[in-house]
Amino acid sequence: MKKHAAFLATFLTALTMAAQTAIPEWCRPLPRAEYKTLERVKVSDPWFEVYKPAPGVFAIYEPHQAEEVISYLILGEKRALLFDTGMGISDIKKVTSELTKLPIVVLNSHTHDDHVGGNWDFADIYGMDTDFTRKNAMGSREDAQAEVTPDQICGTLPAGFDPKTYVTRPWKITAIVHDGDRLDLGGRKLEVVTTPGHTPDAITLIDRANGLLFTGDTYYPAPIWLFRPETDLAAYAASIRRLAALAPQVKLVLGAHNIPVASPTVLAQLVSAFDKVQSGKVPAVPDSPGKVLHKVDGFSFLMRAESR
Ligand SMILES: [Zn+2]
């Protein structure tokens, strides 16, 4: 009997290992070690997982799509700010309504498709005054379609969602934000720090009183995408320096993909890693056509093959 059980255990281990090699790393069971101690908040929609990285802050995570995007719902006493609205594959508005009854204003870390998918469903949307933002606010199909090819999806798409008709729906900007603007949520102030580079409209939010820095795609703990035509590497280098200078006021860095928590020490390390790339000290490893990956000191940057 025992022998039988041992055989079965070995067989099952082999089977699990085989299955795991077929599953991409991003699709493995959650939570990851970096945030498994965070409080998880139950919501009714299985497309999302919600964690609580700080008091009054919800990380709304979409683990079943390869971007592993994270939107943040940040609560004040009078209103809440939703920093990004995710893919638009499932109903993020419904999730937010399960998390707060406060009125919600949307502000995007930048307007790539994976951060604005639910914008259309909200009435109050703050945005940056850039042509890039205005163009994206008109909606698009191409980028959205690339997000739902079978290799980009892990598990089941929400019932009723049809990948063939999936688009980023247009939305209306109701107010413009500028560098240094303070958004008062009642008992919590968020300050806008413009951090162009990844896109012309990339921003970071700092909650100085609570030491929280929401970095969008300017920093997240996975290959940072710096290959798109709208990416400006010189602007990116300047923006991450600006964030590193804020580190003494920061307790927690909250990026927009993969893992919602990082230490502020990561900001100075990011500057030094990117400087090494810019000075040509980091080999370029070919990635997909036209793109190279620069890996250094625990960071990686996905860049245009010809750029540095
Ligand atoms: Zn982006």
**Ranges assigned E (strand) in the chain:** 39-41, 49-54, 57-61, 70-75, 80-83, 104-107, 125-128, 175-177, 182-184, 189-194, 203-207, 212-216, 224-226, 252-255, 284-286, 291-296, 299-304
pTM confidence score: 0.91
Distance 133 CA to ligand 1 centre (A): 12
Total structural domains in the chain? 1
pLDDT in tens, 126-171: 999 999 999 999 999 999 999 999 999 998 899 999 999 999 999 9
155 found inside a domain: yes
* pLDDT digit string, tens, across residues 206-251: 999 999 999 999 999 999 999 999 999 999 999 999 999 999 999 9
- Asked whether the beta carbons of 107 and 81 are under 8 A apart, the reply is yes
Nearest 10 degrees: Cα torsion 98, 100, 106, 110: -70
In a domain, 275, yes or no: no
Q: Is residue 304 part of a domain?
A: no
One-letter identity of residue 101: K
Burial of 6 (0-12, 13-18, 19+ CB in 10 A): exposed
Which residue bears the tokens 């082999």?
14
Using the mean position of ligand 1's atoms as its centre, give its distance from the Cα of residue 198 in Å: 7
Pair type for strands 175-177 and 125-128: parallel
- DSSP class of residue 158 equals P
Q: Is position 56 within any domain?
A: yes
What's the CATH number where 46 sits?
3.60.15.10
How far does the centroid of ligand 1 lie from the alpha carbon of residue 217, in Å?
A: 5
Q: Using the mean position of ligand 1's atoms as its centre, give its distance from the Cα of residue 247 in Å.
A: 22
DSSP symbol at 171: -
Which residues make up the environment of ion ligand 1, defined by Cβ < 5 Å? 112, 217
Q: Does 83 fall in a domain? A: yes
**pLDDT of the residue at 26:** 77
In a domain, residue 290? The reply is no
* C-alpha of residue 179 to centroid of ligand 1, in Å: 19
- Segment 190-206, tens digit of pLDDT: 999 999 999 999 999 99
CA distances from 70 to 1, 62, 276 (A): 48, 6, 28
In a domain? residue 209: yes
Ligand 1 centroid to Cα of residue 112, in Å, is 5
261 CA to centre of ligand 1 in angstroms: 18
Which domain covers residue 144, as residue numbers? 31-265
In this structure, is residue 305 part of a structural domain?
A: no
Report how far residue 145's alpha carbon sits from residue 92's, in angstroms, rounded to the nearest whole number.
19
